[in-house]
Copies of this chain bind each other. A is one copy, B any other.
Amino acid sequence: MSTPRCLALSGGVGGAKLALGLLHAMPPEDLLIVANTGDDFDHLGLRICPDIDTVTYTLSGLANPTLGWGRGDETWSFMETVESLGGEHWFRLGDRDLALHVERTRRLGDGQSLSAITAEVAKRLGIAARIAPMSDDPVRTIVETPDGPLAFQHYFVREQCRPTVTGFRFEGAEIATPGSALTNALAGEGPGMVVICPSNPFISIDPILTLPGVRDMLVRSAAPVIAVSPIVGGQAIKGPTAKMLSELGLPSTALAVAEHYQGVVDGFVLDRADSDAEDAVRELGCEVLVTNTVMKSLQDRVSLARDVIAFSARLS
């Protein structure tokens, strides 16, 4: 495997959108997307990897644009029947989506690595870029709340992010080995650029940065590390980022996200709506690009990707 020109670190929906833009903005073999696996969990006996799957479905054109998860060409017979049998149905699994979880669980049981399975599925679905988990070892995000810890999907899906967040733990992260795709990309000459996608910094990116050695490798990398703000005008485009910032006693601003990444990133991408934060972000010691970061259309995604690529060229 050649070293990718672009290493993108991604969570789910927002990250996958920019990953799709990057895929259209460069030769696909230049792109490696490393997805968070802290959201992974075992449910109904199946291994579910929400962020890997959102990236995979988005890059293969199979994603459900309305729901923001799962597949667009979905049917729901399985879930209806699980419910009628008295099974757990708070985590919605479509019939086609389920095939991926069953097949992945079977292959994991046969001793295949999550990296190998993820790569094989991407290939099967016609994705020419590489997708890799942040680690083949289990890392499980725990959300701390005043009522005690919650497994991530219990917080995120079952409780619909209602509990107040007081902190996070990434169980297993300290003894997990970063995935070989990730470490190979950062080793040697390194990638041409690293993009921290506009994903939730606490629950999508921090699990990756917490893996042994990853933060150091990013800091030491010759490649510019560029983060795109997931906060625009004080709001998260999707998900609980703004709510979390506020509950953690931080301002719900792009600047707060930039501060969170201080020391790791060389460049930070602000939306035009947050251009007043440009100087403050620059004072954190990183370059700033102000552009349109809200990705409604495919064209928006490709434009943002091109802006980020040009920004990185400027920082190299």
Contact = CB atoms under 8 A, between A and B. Distances in A.
A98 interface: yes
A83 to B, nearest CB: 9
B85 A99 contact: yes
Contact of A85 (B85, B86, B103): B103
A94 B75 CA distance: 12
Contacts of A45: 45-46, 102, 105-106, 109
A84 interface: yes
A46 to B, nearest CB: 7
A96 B77 contact: yes
A175 interface: no
A75 B99 contact: no
Given A84-B124, A124-B85, A78 B106 contact: no
The quantity of this chain's copies bound in the complex is 2
B96 A78 contact: yes
Interface in A87-120: 87, 94-96, 98-100, 102-103, 105-106, 109, 120
Nearest to A98: B78
A44 interface: yes
Nearest to A95: B77
A81 interface: yes
Contact of A81 (B46, B85, B100, B120): B100
Interface string A49-88: 0000000000000000000000000110111111011110
A85 B44 contact: no
A164 B85 CA distance: 39
A82 B94 CA distance: 13
Contacts of A77: 74-75, 77, 94-96, 99
A3 B173 CA distance: 56
B109 A87 contact: no
A99 B81 CA distance: 6
A99 B84 CA distance: 9
Given A75-B75, A79-B99, 7 more contacts: A44-B103, A44-B106, A45-B109, A75-B77, A78-B95, A81-B99, A95-B98
Interface of A: 44-46, 74-75, 77-82, 84-87, 94-96, 98-100, 102-103, 105-106, 109, 120-121, 124
